[in-house]
Amino acid sequence: MATRPLSPHLSIWKWGPHMAVSILHRVSGDGMALVGLAVLVWWLGALASGPDAYATFSAHAGSWYGIVVLIGLTWAFFNHASSGIRHFVLDTGAGYELESNRLWSWVSMASGVVLTAIVWLFIIVEKGI
């Protein structure tokens, strides 16, 4: 009997940006589904419950930990969207060449960070957070 694994796993493959973007795509999707849904339900419940409940929600959302969660959700959205566009292009059959795949993997990950920074710089400048 062979002592090697029956199917490839992470310890066999050489790590690269294409693997990282795939894992981050899953993480960001799960983050939006779990954390984003919880924040959305809390926000909608606060809206429906009146001014006191909404003030409580706003106080938490405006605190340092609330802003960290909102920045994380913003990153998750932009990262998931940009890697989704990358996967859409791959589904057309383009971008499988090693250098092209590596380049667009880095661009996908970087664009999530850059777009998040742009949005939050706008929020900070406009709202003065």
Does residue 129 carry a pLDDT above 90? Answer: no
Q: Is residue 18 a known part of a binding site? A: no
Range in 12-16, 18-22, 109-113, 118-122 the model is least confident about: 12-16
Is 102 inside a domain boundary?
yes
Which pTM was predicted?
Answer: 0.86
Is 75 inside a domain boundary?
yes
**Mean per-residue pLDDT, 24-41:** 97
Is 112 inside a domain boundary?
yes
Helix H or strand E encompassing 41: helix 37-49
pLDDT tens digits, one per residue of 2-30: 566 566 666 677 788 988 999 999 999 99
Structure-block tokens of residue 18: 């294409």
Q: Give the CATH number, domain containing residue 110.
A: 1.20.1300.10
Is 11 inside a domain boundary?
no
Is 48 inside a domain boundary?
yes
Helix H or strand E encompassing 81: helix 64-91
Q: Cα dist. 117→39, 71, 81, 112, 123 in Å?
A: 21, 9, 15, 9, 10
Virtual torsion, Cα 72, 35, 21, 83, nearest 10 deg: -90
Is 110 inside a domain boundary?
yes
pLDDT tens digits, one per residue of 56-107: 999 999 999 999 999 999 999 999 999 999 999 999 999 889 899 999 999 9
**Mean per-residue pLDDT, 19-47:** 96
Is 111 inside a domain boundary?
yes
**Mean per-residue pLDDT, 17-46:** 96
Tell me if residue 30 falls in helix, strand or coil.
helix
Determine the Cα angle at 117 with ends 36 and 101, to 5°. 85
Is 7 inside a domain boundary?
no
Domain count, the chain: 1
Residue 73: domain span = 18-127
